Amino acid sequence: MIARRAPLALGTATIAAFFAAAHAWTLAPNPYPVLGTQRAIWTVLFVSLVLLGSYASGLPELPTSRQGAITAALGSVAVGLLGVSFVQLLLGSPLLPRVVLGGVSAAFVPWALLTWHAESDRARRSSIRALFVGNEQEFAELQSDLAGELVPVDLIGRELFDESFSEKVRDTGADMLVLDMASLANPAIVAEVSNLHREGIRVRTVSLFAEEFLGKIPIADLERMSLLFDIGELHRATYVRWKRVADVGIGALVLIVLAPAALLVLLGNKFGNPGPLLYRQPRVGKDGEVFQILKFRSMRQDDSAETTWTTSDDPRITPFGSFLRRSHLDELPQAWNILTGDLSIVGPRPEQPHYVETLSEKIPFYDVRHLVRPGLTGWAQVKYPYGADEVDAREKLQFDLYYLRRQALRLDVQILIRTVRTVVGRTGR
């Protein structure tokens, strides 16, 4: 991950150094040492903000098109310019010469586009050629899952087992075999695959493949014993303490932002969504305990009970409430739930008790997600689009199980960064 972004970071720093030196030595009325003034510090700050914006937007590896890469680069430049402008406004004096701000901003976009092209080419060259061995339905599901993911895998086809199985696998040039449960239970297939494995072809079960490349654990391949893995919140005391410190710190910061936001929402409610400012709803938390989640109300007052799944075009949502959901402002009051310990910043999203009761009866292992504190955002939220039925709940549970298995501060930070990308990149519900 760091190696992928190193060219973008080093190139941006070099560009900034060039324009800073050009201004200091040739363009300024009086030449000055580049490192001898506070301008060097502000230049580093500007470059850091631009790179922070690029990281949040996913450069250079995430954009899927040239236009997407250009948009991400322009957004990154905007983050840097707005950040420096805000500091200049507070201090009442210019921090950097225009040639540095303008030069870096102009040169960053083509450099970001160049690194995006290089990363796209590298990803294509290093793509794994995977061959599926198993039933057609699972193959189709895996194809569908991979279609929406930026992963270094090319699922080149499906192969049936027969006497010429090994020869056909070699002819395809496959780097990896993906076996379903039925194939694993067939001794003849396992024997042939073992020989291919000795030749350097990698082998994965569907479950391991999904965990490695899709970030989820398929429910169909699970057994109770396979859930007996360490969970950060249950088995690592240091992780628990640091996560709680982060929760309290971020929750307190959000509450500070909440004060002026609450005033704006109050005014918006008065004219576009008459009724109470806050909406309380029971949700199931850690160990199955029920708590009251807080939100800015986005539905008509009489319809706020939400006894059915909420959809993107739900008629109960008011026009102002739609704005709150798209901007995610309706979620801000949950900072109080975080401070009280009902919620964490990152964790499985809590559901209403009656949904939990229904889903626990219909979906295997659904209750496992209640082993940890639920979150404001989570792995399922950043990996899967908004869910509004039992099928979506089943799909999201597979991502929740992956989170429980991999729970760590590093993954929590990754989820927070992806959440920023999600909020900036598309509308909410």
Where in the chain are the domains?
2-124, 127-214, 232-425
* Rounded (10°) angle between helices 136-147 and 206-213: 0
- Which two structure tokens, joined as six digits, stand for 13? 């720093």
Q: Which CATH superfamily is domain 127-214 in?
A: Nitrogenase molybdenum iron protein domain (3.40.50.1980)
pLDDT in tens, 276-319: 888 899 999 999 999 999 998 888 776 554 556 666 566 778 88
Do 134 and 183 contact (CB within 8 A), yes or no?
Answer: yes
pLDDT in tens, 133-148: 999 999 999 999 888 6
DSSP 338-405: HHHTS-EEESPPP--HHHHHHHHHHSTTGGGGGGS--EEE-HHHHHSPPP-SHHHHHHHHHHHHHHHH
pTM for this entry: 0.75
Do 216 and 208 contact (CB within 8 A), yes or no?
Answer: no
Residues in the chain, total: 429
Q: How far apart are CA 161 and CA 165, in angstroms?
A: 5
Whether 429 shows a pLDDT value over 50: the answer reads no
Q: How far apart are CA 30 and CA 95, in angstroms?
A: 17
What percent of the chain stands above pLDDT 90?
52
154 phi, psi to nearest 5 deg = -120, 110
What is the average pLDDT value for the chain, to the nearest integer?
Answer: 87
Task: Tell me what the mean pLDDT of segment 376-383 comes to.
Answer: 93
The reply to whether omega before 60 is within 30° of 0 (cis) is: yes
Q: How far apart are CA 391 and CA 393, in angstroms?
A: 5
Whether 387 shows a pLDDT value over 70: the answer reads no
- Which two structure tokens, joined as six digits, stand for 64? 């899927």
Q: How far apart are CA 365 and CA 385, in angstroms?
A: 21
The sign of the CA dihedral 255, 260, 266, 269 is negative
Chain center to CA of 52: 16
Nearest to 17 by CA among 111, 104, 128: 104
1-15, 106-120, 305-319: least confidently modelled range: 305-319
- Higher pLDDT: 149 or 54? It is 54
- Higher pLDDT: 341 or 86? It is 341
CA distances to 159, 165, 173, 190, 199 from 195, in Å: 16, 11, 15, 9, 7
Nearest to 269 by CA among 304, 226, 234: 304
Whether 422 shows a pLDDT value over 90: the answer reads no
